[in-house]
Chains A and B, each alone.
Chain A
Amino acid sequence: MSRVALRGIRSHLGRFLLSILAVLLGVAFVAGTFSLREMMADTFDSIVEAGTDADVYVEGAELAGGGTPMGGQQARFPLETAETIAAADGVAAAVPGVQGAIVLVGADGTAVLNNGAPSFGLGLHPDERALWVADGRAPSGPDEVALESAALERAGLAVGDTTKVVLAGEVRTVEVVGELGFAAPMAGAIMVGLDWDTALAAYAPDGLTTGVAVYAEDGVSERALADAVETALADGPAAADVRVLTGDEMRAEMAEQWQSALGFVSTFLLVFAGIALFVGTFIIGNTFSMVVRQRQREFAMLRAVGASPTQVFASVLAQAGVVGVLGSLLGVGAGVGLVELLRGVFAGMGMELAGDVPIDTFTVAVSVLVGTVVSLVAALVPARRAALTAPVEAMRDEVATHDRASRVRTGVGAVLLAGGLLAVVVATTGVVTENRGALLGAGAAAILVGVLALAPAIVPPVLGGLAAPVVAGVRPLGALARGNVTRHPKRTATTAGALMVGMALVGAASVLAASAQASVRDVVDNQARTDLILQSATWDVPAALVEDLPQVDGVAEVHALRIAQATRVDGEDLALIGVPEGFFTEVLEVPVDAGDATDLAPGQAVAQASDAEERGWAVGDELTVEGIGGTTRVRLAAVIDSGVLGLPLVVEESDFDAVAGPGASVIDSVFVKAAPGADLADVRAGLAELAEPYVVVSIMDAEEYGDAVAAQVNQVLVILYALLALSIVIAVLGIVNTLAMSIAERTREIGLLRAVGLGRLQMASIVTIESVLTAVFGTVLGIGVGAGLAATMTRVFADEGLNRLAVPWAGLGVLLGLAVVVGVVAALWPAARAARMNVLEAIAYE
């Protein structure tokens, strides 16, 4: 029997080709994700290796918010501690870390911004070992910097050039006096070496550091050194604020942080790989049902000569296995190619990644396993049908076709759909208050699966309706095409289902994005009382600029909105917003649920309604807020419902300063109000003149601010679309697959049509209409489900700032147009095939 299965595959490789391709694409994504993750982990590991070369690290105790590898989010301790450490036994050198954000202006006069990779300035200690001067010399004095090689290249600068940096909120003109070497690729990060005293003044004005790197004398082990350092520090005042780690422990800790960050990214990517594979099962399932249908008599014959149903079942599954393994192996190769390609793209964007594209046994094993299992699962139902073939079918002339919506499937689909709808209604009408999001999610999943299950039953009526204009308009081709897509409802439903999944997600994403944008605009339009808003591309408006703003002619008020990440509220890690006292009266008029937000005095706080509800905060409650700078208690003055402040708790500026600590907060936005009667254009020009040297600051009015937020949403949307494109491509392959196989099945019919006078172009048109009908059917269902569900989300997530429903009709229309294009493209090859069929051979085809 296995011989039968293998011969079957070999002689009909063509019809499995697209199934293999579907597995290939899905698996390529899976393998690529793993491989990319490995490569990035390798890169970051090598950065950690190179940047963390000391034997012992003395670190500030872990504070709220968790540490990130590049920035200090830990408790800070006096720099002098380094001297205590240096005096310990076996210490060769103790180098305190002094680093922070910096903006480097490149040769072209714009800020060197590297796609979200950090830019940081680093104080070059005389004993620094992780970096070395590769060219020129080390900087000396506040007017000199040295750049790491990649940063130098990225900025387009050379040693000897003069440029600007924005350091500690000030613009400075500096000379590049040297090039720094680092033992690993920087993955896009921009590193600027600063003179030690300059760095101290900029990053440690309070004389505090986040960590000290300790190097051992020859022959002293890391452990022994750590013990010695610990002993030396035990009596000192900073003992409680520090942790002593060996180099290995430190490296492990940093690697772990990278891993968890990368884990998040790869999980995100794997979700899309999963969607692609799920869509792929539709193709494989369809292929095998068609193959089984074609081979019904062969199976009957095998059964007649004594093959058991199990053997027939196994022979079909064996073919699925071959398809899976073959597709997976090719997919792994394609995945590696994909990552190699990505590496090139990243390198082009200035993000060098380390090493070769890694391909380990785990990746191969998991990829092949996933691809094969997906393929096997997809072939289960057709294999069962093959196994159940009665031997008597071999004697029948015409193969019985039972391709009709099964009652069980329709029933299950209806139940799921009804249940899903109920869940959505319950979640949206607020019958329950707990876990509404989860309920909505479950309902959405049930609806999607339910519609997929119901699809064969709705193919005849819905497609009949969709086809009506074509049937009337293009006689008799439209009617012929409609007949072809409705005669196998299950097949058409599966083919369209693959597209439906992708389109549902795209439709949902577009409605959510439009709603989010509309919500933001709504908030900006209705709540913002400000004339101009300043923001920075580095997410931190330079403090020096903010100080100078009131001097601009026509500026009446300046309100800075600051954010501190490393803070804790009542023991929970929560980022904090700090605003000046008059913020809620002058700048932002927020809807108040309870209490009074108009006068945010020191010692008071304002909470976002949804967060307050979640944590049980009520007006009058006292909250403990702690941060790097210290701890304070605030009383909740009001609960507000504003979509514009994305964080739970807002405190007054003086409390914020006390808690956040210097250097541990950013100025997110600055709101400027013009004096009455001042010409806004003049004010804006004045601000622009002042901000221009800082390079990264943009000035927007309320509408532009809304645009900027909308643009951010769009960026996310583009990434989502790109990732969903894969599943749509696979769905298109599915349409090609179904069309090609249906055409092969209909060979004699095509011969007949051509014999009675159907032209080639007309033949091709029929196939194209079929294709477009299928694609539009899938898209209409998908958009209906996706956009419909997304529309309900505004009711559930109104508290989270998603309070306006906007349906992007034009965008959805474009999707429908896209479906037509998809249909036409998918039909190209099958249509050409159908048109080129030899009439006589087609008629005589068995």
Chain B
Amino acid sequence: MRPVTVYPRGEGAIASARGLVKVYGSGETAVRALDGVDVDFANGELTAIMGPSGSGKSTLMHCMAGLDTVTSGTVVVDGEDVARLGQRGLTRLRRERLGFVFQAFNLIPTLTAEENITLPLDIARRPVDRDWFDTVVDAVGLRDRLDHRPGELSGGQQQRVACARALVSRPAVVFADEPTGNLDSRSSSEVLGFLRHSVDVLGQAVVMVTHDPTAASYAHRVLFLADGRLVGEIVDPTPESVLDALREIGAGRRAPEPALAGAAPALVGGVAGGLR
């Protein structure tokens, strides 16, 4: 694990945050979910965000995606300052430039798979690019399931429909929140394989929050969060390297003594170097 790479002006990043702080509640019960996060998400990259429960990984994604308001700091997605957008602007941002895949309940039960996939375009009243639609549908392998309702699809198929929906409007970034959290390992690998494929072949930027090291290993880069701060990253991860890094963070949190904390950068550098 190495220190997180941040470019001064976020060069080449499709989404970036600077000094991102998110505080829930106020007074004595206030919780700093994000405590000064600087981060860049590169175009054409699958980035995973990991960290223990309560580390703020979901909050980071929600703030990046304009689903949650930020307390201070800036968030820029595809050139748009998210923190300064109103409800209307945020709705348009989500509709036109973002794609979402959630852990569960991704599909409208009354619509067919095809209708679910084209939903963002329908909402935006944009025409469906049939070639792109076919490309995406073939990529998720759902050609023969398009007329089915979500209730008639397996969990993995439902998540693949959700992925297709996220991609069909050619968003700037796709945010995936624990996309495999409810899936068995086979379905998980199908979905993750597809997400990686969408990045490698279709050139999509994808940000994925996960707590599963195997899922994270599909990413180009894994960011680690602890106590609302980014503590490091791994490029080209494997399940083992991710596990090691997580263990390390766990140890660091259990014993946050000054001496150890001071030694941490060297340690992190060592692990990261070992992975290379």
**Which residue in chain A gives the minimum CB-CB distance to B58?**
A844
Q: How far apart are B105's CB and chain A's nearest CB, in angstroms?
A: 5
Whether A755 contacts B123 in the complex (CB less than 8 A), given A476-B115, A483-B110, A749-B109, comes out as no
Interface contact B68-A760, CB-CB below 8 Å: no
* B104 nearest in chain A by CB position: A748
> Is B85 among interface residues, defined by CB-CB distance under 8 A?
no
Q: A755's contact among B67, B87, B92, B115, by CB below 8 Å, is which?
A: B67
Question: Smallest Cβ distance from B34 to chain A, in angstroms?
Answer: 14
Check if B119 sits within 8 Å of A476, measured CB to CB.
yes
Q: Which 4 A-B pairs have the closest CB atoms?
A: A757-B95, A483-B110, A476-B122, A757-B94
Q: Mark A455-490, 1 if CB is under 8 A from B, else 0.
A: 000000000000000000001100110111011000
Tell me, yes or no, whether A88 is within 8 Å of chain B by CB. no
With both chains docked as a complex, state the minimum distance between the C-beta of A461 and any C-beta of chain B, in angstroms.
16
The yes or no answer to B91 lying at the interface (CB within 8 A) is yes
Set A483, A486, A757, A839: member contacting B120, Cβ < 8 A: A757
Q: Which residue from B91, B102, B165 sits with its C-beta under 8 Å from A759? A: B91
Given A480-B110, A483-B110, 16 additional A-B pairs, CB 8 A: A483-B109, A483-B111, A486-B110, A487-B109, A749-B109, A752-B106, A752-B107, A753-B108, A754-B91, A756-B99, A757-B94, A757-B95, A758-B91, A759-B88, A840-B62, A843-B67
Chain A residue nearest in CB terms to B87: A760
Q: What is B's interface to A at a CB cutoff of 8 Å?
A: 62, 67-68, 87-88, 91-92, 94-96, 98-100, 102, 105-111, 115, 119-120, 122-125, 165
Q: A756-B100, A840-B67 are in contact. Are A749 and B87 (CB under 8 A)?
A: no
Cβ-based interface call for A257 (8 A): no
- Pick 13 A–B contacts, CB within 8 A, sort by A: A476-B119, A476-B122, A479-B111, A480-B111, A483-B108, A752-B102, A752-B108, A756-B119, A756-B120, A757-B94, A757-B98, A758-B95, A839-B67
The minimal Cβ–Cβ distance linking B44 to chain A, given in whole angstroms, is 23
Chain A residue nearest to B124 (CB atoms) is: A757
The CA-CA distance from A685 to B88 in the complex, in Å, is 71
Does A792 reach chain B (CB closer than 8 Å)?
no
**B108 — which chain A residues lie within 8 A by C-beta?**
480, 483, 749, 752-753
| Whole-angstrom distance between the Cβ of B237 and the nearest chain A Cβ | 27
In Å, the complex CA distance between A106 and B165 comes to 79
* CB <8 Å contact, B94 and A756: yes
Interface string of A431-470 (1 = CB under 8 A from B): 0000000000000000000000000000000000000000
Given the complex, which residues of B lie within 8 Å of A839, measured CB to CB?
67
Q: A476-B122, A762-B123, A843-B102 are in contact. Are A756 and B165 (CB under 8 A)?
A: yes
Q: With A480-B110, A483-B108 given, is the CB distance from A757 to B115 under 8 Å?
A: no
Instruction: List B contacts of A755 (CB < 8 A).
Output: 67, 94, 100, 102
Contact B92 A757 (CB under 8 A): yes
Interface size on A, residues (CB 8 A): 24
- B91, B105, B106, B122, most chain A CB atoms within 10 A: B91
Closest to A759 in B: B91
Looking across the interface, which residue of chain A has its beta carbon closest to that of B106? A752
**Chain A contacts of B98 at CB under 8 A?**
757
Residue of A484, A756, A759, A762 with most partner-chain B CB within 10 A: A756
Chain A, Cβ-Cβ closest to B90: A839
Enumerate A472-528 residues with CB–CB distance to B below 8 Å: 475-476, 479-480, 482-484, 486-487
Nearest chain B CB to A742's CB is how many angstroms away?
A: 12
A757 in contact with B109 (CB, 8 Å): no
On chain A, the residues within 8 Å of B68 by CB distance are 840
Min Cβ gap B18→A in Å is 22
Q: Mark A748-786, 1 if CB is under 8 A from B, else 0.
A: 110011111111101000000000000000000000000
Residues of B within 8 Å of A482, CB to CB, are: 110
Residues from chain B with a CB closer than 8 A to the CB of A843 are 67, 102, 105
Distance from A727 Cβ to chain B, minimum over Cβ atoms (Å): 31
Q: Which residue of chain A is the closest to B93 with respect to CB atoms? A: A757
Known: A483-B110, A839-B67. Contact between A757 and B105, CB under 8 A? Answer: no
| A754 neighbours in B (Cβ, 8 Å) | 91, 94
Alpha-carbon distance between A752 and B102 when the two chains are bound, in angstroms:
9
In the complex, which of the residues A475, A476, A748, A760 contacts B105, with contact meaning CB atoms closer than 8 Å?
A748
Chain A residues whose CB sits within 8 angstroms of the CB of B100 once the complex forms: 752, 755-756
Tell me which residues across on chain B come within 8 A of A762, comparing CB atoms. 123
- Measured CA separation A755–B120 after assembly (Å): 10
Chain B residues with CB under 8 A of A759? 88, 91, 95, 123
B228 CB to closest chain A CB, in angstroms? 17
Give every chain A residue within 8 A of B99 (Cβ-Cβ).
756
How far is the CB of B165 from the nearest CB of chain A, in Å?
Answer: 7
The complex places the Cα of A762 from the Cα of B108 at a distance, in Å, of 15
- Contact (Cβ within 8 A) B67 A756: no
Contact with B along A62-102 (1 / 0, CB 8 A): 00000000000000000000000000000000000000000
**A476 with B123, Cβ < 8 A, contacts A757-B92, A840-B62 known:** yes
Within the complex, which residue of A475, A484, A760, A840 is in contact with B110, where a contact is CB–CB below 8 Å?
A484
Q: Which residues of B contact A760 (CB under 8 A)?
A: 87, 91
Please indicate the chain B residues that have their CB under 8 angstroms from the CB of A486 in the complex.
110
The residues of B that contact A479 with a CB separation of less than 8 Å are 111, 115
Q: Are A752 and B105 in contact (CB under 8 A)?
A: yes
Per-residue CB proximity of A111-151 to B under 8 Å, as 1/0?
00000000000000000000000000000000000000000
**Bound-complex Cα distance A759 to B86 (A):** 12
Distance in angstroms between the alpha carbons of A759 and B124 in the assembled complex: 9
With both beta carbons as reference points, the residue of chain A lying nearest to B59 in the complex is identified as: A840
Please measure, in the bound complex, the distance between the C-alpha atom of A755 and the C-alpha atom of B165, giving whole angstroms: 12
Name which residue of chain B comes closest to A486, CB basis: B110
Q: Is the CB of A757 within 8 A of B96?
A: yes
Query: What separation, in Å, do the CA atoms of A840 and B95 have in the docked complex?
Result: 15
CA distance A383 to B88 in the complex (A): 44
Cα separation A759 to B96 with both chains bound (whole Å):
12
CA distance A762 to B62 in the complex (A): 22
**How far does the Cβ of A237 sit from chain B's closest Cβ, in whole Å?**
89
Complex contacts, B87 vs chain A, CB 8 Å: 760
Central interface residue in B68, B98, B106, B119, by most chain A CB within 10 Å: B119
Chain B nearest CB from A472 CB (Å) reads: 13
Q: How far is the CA of A757 from the CA of B65 in the complex (A)?
A: 12
User: Which residue on chain B has the smallest CB distance to residue A753?
Assistant: B108
* Smallest CB separation, A268 vs chain B (Å): 45
Residues of A within 8 A of B91 (CB): 754, 757-760
- Do the beta carbons of A756 and B123 come within 8 Å of each other? yes
| CB-defined contacts of B124 to chain A, threshold 8 Å | 757
Residues of the A chain whose Cβ atoms lie less than 8 Å from the Cβ of B120? 756-757
Q: How far is the CB of A258 from chain B (nearest CB, A)?
A: 60
Which of B62, B102, B111, B123 lies in contact with A757, CB distance below 8 A?
B123
Chain A's nearest CB lies how many Å from the CB of B114?
Answer: 12
Within the assembled complex, what's the spacing in Å between the Cα atoms of A242 and B106? 89
Residues of B within 8 A of A475 (CB): 122, 125
B22 to chain A, nearest CB (A): 12
- Measured in the bound complex, the distance between the Cα atoms of B92 and A759 in whole Å is 8
Q: Complex formed: what's the CA distance from A760 to B111 in Å?
A: 20
Residues of B within 8 A of A483 (CB): 108-111
Contact present for B105 and A749 (CB under 8 Å):
yes
Cross-chain contact B67 with A487 (CB below 8 angstroms)? no
Chain B residue contacts of A753, Cβ below 8 A = 108, 119, 123
Task: List the B side residues contacting A758 at CB < 8 Å.
Answer: 91, 95, 123
| A762–B92 alpha-carbon span in the complex (Å) | 12
Q: How far apart sit A759 and B125, CA to CA, in the bound complex (Å)? A: 12
**Which residues of the other chain, A, contact B110 by a CB distance below 8 angstroms?**
480, 482-484, 486-487
> What residues of chain B lie closer than 8 Å to A487, measured between beta carbons?
109-110
